[in-house]
Structure 1
Amino acid sequence: MSKWKWASAGVIAALLLTMNIMLFGREETTAVEAPRLKTAGSLERNFIKEWNVTGFAQSKNTFDVHYNPTLGAIKEIQVSEGETVTSGQTIASYENNDIEKELRSLKRDKEAADVKSNHYSSEITNWQSELSSFDEDKDSADTKVMIQKQLADAELEVDLAEKESSVLFDEILEVEKKLDELSIKSPVDGVVTEVNGSDSGKPIVEIVGQGNYEILAEVNGTIAGIVKTGDEVQFTTPAAKKKLTGTVQSVMPSKKDQQFIISIIAQDQSALTEGQKANIVIPEMLSANAVSVSQKAVINNDGKQYVYTIDKNKLYKVEVSTGLKQNGVVEIKKGLKKGEAVVMNPSKVFVSGEPAFQLK
C-alpha cells in the first residue's frame, strides 16, 4: 500500500513540474510579445469647425449707358439681355436728322470742289502743252500772253478748289465725329445684363465687364461674427476641378434683418463667370495648438478618463481632462504634454508602474 502512495506522489510531482514549466514558458512568451505594444506621441493640432455657405460671382466692372437727349432720339438698340459684346461694338444709336443733313451737304460741296479742281488741272495740262509748242517766230506775242493768262487762271482755280476741298474735308470729319457719337459703343468686353427704353428712367443698357469678380454670400450673424476682413477662405465652383482661394473684403449688413453680406475676392479670376455659384468654406478656430491624442488611447474608468504613458520602460496611468473631438482625435486639456508617448491599445487591467515589457 505504501508503494502505491509513493507512486501517486511521484505522478503528482511530475504533473506539478510540467505545469510550472508550461507557466514559465508562457511568461517567457509574453515577455517576447510585449514590445508589440502600440504607442504614439501626443501632438499639437488645431481644432477647426467648417461652415459651408453658398455665394454667387458678380463682376465689379458694371457699366451703365444712359440716354443723352442732346444727341437726339434713340434710333435703335442693337443688343439684347444675355448677349456677349466686345469693347467698341455698337450697342445702340441715336437719330439726328440735322447732323445727317449737314453731312450730306458737306459731302456734295466737297465733291463739287474736287470736280472743279480736276477740271482746271486738265486745263493747266492743256495750256502748258500750248505754251511748250509755242513758236516765237510764227505765233504772235499776244497769243503767248493769252496762253499764259489762261494758264495762270487755271492754276488759281485749282488752288482755290483744293483749299475749299481741304476745308470741307475737315468739316466733314467734325460732322462725322458728331455722327459717330450717335453710335453708342460698348466700353468693355462683357455681357449685357439689362436693356431698357429711353423713357424708363433707367440706363438704356447695362453691361457687366469680364474679370474683377467678387463672390457675394448672405450669412447669418453667427457666421458674420466669425469672419473678418483679410481672412482667407476656400471655395469651389461647378466648373473648377480643385479648391480655389479667396480673401474676405468686407462683411456688411444685409437688407434682411439679422443677415449680412460677405464679399470675397477670388485670387484666380479666370475661374469665375458672372452669376456663377460658389460653395464657400468658412473656418472657425475652436482650439489652436491643442495637445491631442487618438480617441483609442483614452479609457473611461469610474467616471474619469485616463491614458497610459510609457517612461523608461514602465507603464503609468495618467488621469486627463478631454475636450473637443474631431475625426477620431480628442483634445487633452489637462494631464499630458506635447510629445509624450501614449499607449494606443490600453486596458483597464493594466497596472501603473508595471514594466512595459510585461504587458500582454
Structure 2
Amino acid sequence: MNKLKWVAAAIMVILLVVMNIVIFDKKESAAVEAPRVETGLSTQKDFTKKHETTGVAQSKNTFEIFENASLGSIKEIMVSKGETVTSGQTLITYENAEIEKELRNLKRDQEAADVRSNHYSGQISEWKSELSDFDEEKDSKDSKVLLQEKLAEAELQNELAENESSVLSDEISDLEKQLDDLSVKSPADGVVSELNGVGDDEPLLSIVGQGNFELVADIDQKMASLVKTGDSVLIKSNGEKMLKGTVQTVLPADQNNFKLTVLVEDEAAWVEGQTAQIIVTEKLAENAITVPKQAILKDDGKTYVLTIVKNKLYKLKVSAGLEQKGNVQITKGLKKGQVVVLNPSPVFVSGQPVLKK
C-alpha cells in the first residue's frame, strides 16, 4: 500500500513539472511571437520650400514734383530736404512776366475808371444840389434844362465808369488766380525726401506721404514663376516678427529678371530705402500622405512600411517621395490614418502578432 502511495506521489510530481514546462514554453513562445512595438500614424502634410529676396521699402504715397515750364520760370522753392510738409502747403512759386504785365495794366485801367467814377459821382451831387436850389421864378427854364442834361450825362458816365471798373475787377481776379495757380502746393502730408536743382531731368522734389509702404525687389525667372498678383508672402525686417504682404505686381525688367512689388499689410515703422526680406513659399506637394522617417524600412533596394491590423503585422511596399523635417512623403501604397511601426526590423514578417507599446 505504501508503495502505491509513493508511485502516485511521484506521478503527481512529474505531472506538475510537465505542466510548468508547458506553461513556461507557451509564455516564452508568446513573448517571441508578439513583441511590443512603437507606432505612429500616417498623416497629411504640405511640403514647401522657402525662397528669399531682399526688397527695398518705398512709400506707396510718394509724390514727385517736376518743373513745369508752361507755368513760367521758378521764382522760389520754399521747402528744404527733410522738412515735414502738410497738404496744401506751398512748395514752389513761379513767376510769369506776361501775366504780371497784363495784371499791372488792368489795375492801372481800373484805377482810371475809379477816378472817372468818382469825378462823375461828384458832378452828380453838384447838379442835383443846383437843381434842388433852382428857382422857377428867377431862373430861366433853359438853365434848368441844361442842368438836367448835365446831370443825365454825369449819371451815364458814372455808370459806364463803374461798369468798366467792375469788369476790370473780374479780369484782375482771374489773373490773380492764375498767378496763385503758378504756386505748386503739397498733394499730401509728408516729408521732403529729395531736392534737386532747377533744370535737371530729375524731379525738383519728392514728397514721401503718410500711409502704406511697399517693397520692391529684383528677382530671377525661377522665383517669378512662383508668385502672381494677389499671392500672400511673408516679410522679415530687422529681426522683427514676420509681417504679412501681398504681391502687387510681377513685371519683366529684362530678358531674365523681373521686378517684384509687395504691399506691406501690417502696420510697422518703415522709412524710405529700408531693406527687408521677402519670403516666398513654394508648394512642393499639398496634402501629401506622410510617415515619420523612422517608419521607413529599406529591404533589398525596395521601400516598405509595416502596418498593424488587429494586432498583426503587415508589410506594405510603398513609393517614397520628398523628405522634410523628419517626414517622408508616400506617393503610393498607403492611406491617411494607417498605423505604422516605428524603427521596424527586417526580421518582422507579415501576419506576425505584435503588441503596441
TM-score bin (small chain)? 0.7 to 0.9
Q: Is the contact between residue 221 and residue 256 of structure 2 (CA under 8 Å) also seen in structure 1?
A: yes
Q: In the alignment, does 2:90 pair up with 1:90?
A: yes
Q: For 1:54-65, what aligned pairs fall within 5 Å after superposition?
A: 54-58=54-58, 59=60, 63-65=64-66
CA distances 1:51-99 after superposition (whole Å, capped 9, x unpaired) = 1222123348653412528723x32111233445455432222344564
**For residue 235 of structure 1, what is the amino acid of its counterpart?**
L
1:359 & 1:71 partners in 2: Cα distance?
A: 90
Q: Is the contact between residue 116 and residue 161 of structure 2 (CA under 8 Å) also seen in structure 1?
A: yes
Q: In the alignment, does 2:262 pair up with 1:261?
A: no
**For residue 89 of structure 1, what is the amino acid of its counterpart?**
Q
Over 3 Å counting, the alpha-carbon distance change for 1:276 and 1:67 in structure 2 is same
Q: For 1:164-313, what aligned pairs fall within 5 Å after superposition?
A: 164-186=164-186, 191-207=191-207, 214-220=214-220, 222-224=222-224, 226-227=225-226, 229-230=228-229, 232-236=231-235, 238=237, 243-247=243-247, 249-253=249-253, 260-266=257-263, 268=265, 274-300=272-298, 305-311=303-309
Over 3 Å counting, the alpha-carbon distance change for 1:249 and 1:69 in structure 2 is closer
Over 3 Å counting, the alpha-carbon distance change for 1:340 and 1:204 in structure 2 is closer
**For residue 235 of structure 2, what is the amino acid of its counterpart?**
T
Q: Is the contact between residue 67 and residue 198 of structure 1 (CA under 8 Å) also seen in structure 2?
A: no
Aligned position for 1:332? 330
Q: For 1:20-99, what aligned pairs fall within 5 Å after superposition?
A: 38-43=39-44, 45-58=45-58, 59=60, 63-68=64-69, 71-72=72-73, 74-86=74-86, 88-96=88-96, 99=99
Give the Å deviation of 1:228.
Answer: 5.1
Give the Å deviation of 1:302.
Answer: 6.3
Aligned position for 1:315? 313
**For residue 107 of structure 1, what is the amino acid of its counterpart?**
K
Q: Is the contact between residue 308 and residue 346 of structure 1 (CA under 8 Å) also seen in structure 2?
A: no
1:125 & 1:249 partners in 2: Cα distance?
A: 77
Q: Secondary structure at the match of 1:153?
A: helix
Over 3 Å counting, the alpha-carbon distance change for 1:270 and 1:114 in structure 2 is farther
Q: TM-score, normalised by structure 1?
A: 0.72
CA distances 1:82-141 after superposition (whole Å, capped 9, x unpaired) = 445455432222344564454344334424433543554465456556656767567654
Q: Is the contact between residue 62 and residue 208 of structure 1 (CA under 8 Å) also seen in structure 2?
A: yes
**For residue 163 of structure 1, what is the amino acid of its counterpart?**
N
Aligned CA-pair RMSD: 4.6
Unaligned regions of 5+ residues in structure 1, if any? none
Percent pairwise identity: 45
1:11 & 1:306 partners in 2: Cα distance?
A: 51
Give the Å deviation of 1:49.
Answer: 0.6
Q: Is the contact between residue 191 and residue 208 of structure 1 (CA under 8 Å) also seen in structure 2?
A: yes
Over 3 Å counting, the alpha-carbon distance change for 1:152 and 1:300 in structure 2 is same
1:98 & 1:231 partners in 2: Cα distance?
A: 52
Q: Is the contact between residue 88 and residue 188 of structure 1 (CA under 8 Å) also seen in structure 2?
A: yes
Q: Is the contact between residue 295 and residue 330 of structure 1 (CA under 8 Å) also seen in structure 2?
A: yes
Q: For 1:133-172, what aligned pairs fall within 5 Å after superposition?
A: 141-142=141-142, 144-172=144-172
Q: Is the contact between residue 233 and residue 280 of structure 1 (CA under 8 Å) also seen in structure 2?
A: no
Give the Å deviation of 1:165.
Answer: 0.5
**For residue 232 of structure 1, what is the amino acid of its counterpart?**
D
Q: Is the contact between residue 55 and residue 216 of structure 1 (CA under 8 Å) also seen in structure 2?
A: yes
Give the Å deviation of 1:189.
Answer: 5.7
1:153 & 1:205 partners in 2: Cα distance?
A: 60
Over 3 Å counting, the alpha-carbon distance change for 1:203 and 1:359 in structure 2 is closer
Give the Å deviation of 1:11.
Answer: 6.3
Deviates further, 227-236 or 164-173: 227-236
1:269 & 1:104 partners in 2: Cα distance?
A: 56
Q: Secondary structure at the match of 1:198?
A: coil
Over 3 Å counting, the alpha-carbon distance change for 1:248 and 1:101 in structure 2 is closer
1:202 & 1:354 partners in 2: Cα distance?
A: 81
Over 3 Å counting, the alpha-carbon distance change for 1:138 and 1:315 in structure 2 is farther
Give the Å deviation of 1:247.
Answer: 2.7
Over 3 Å counting, the alpha-carbon distance change for 1:126 and 1:21 in structure 2 is farther
Q: Is the contact between residue 71 and residue 94 of structure 2 (CA under 8 Å) also seen in structure 1?
A: no
Q: Is the contact between residue 229 and residue 251 of structure 1 (CA under 8 Å) also seen in structure 2?
A: no
Unaligned regions of 5+ residues in structure 2, if any? none
CA distances 1:163-215 after superposition (whole Å, capped 9, x unpaired) = 22123223313432442344233456655443222244544334566679653
How many residue pairs were aligned?
A: 350
1:291 & 1:66 partners in 2: Cα distance?
A: 63
2:297 & 2:153 partners in 1: Cα distance?
A: 120
Q: Is the contact between residue 304 and residue 319 of structure 1 (CA under 8 Å) also seen in structure 2?
A: yes
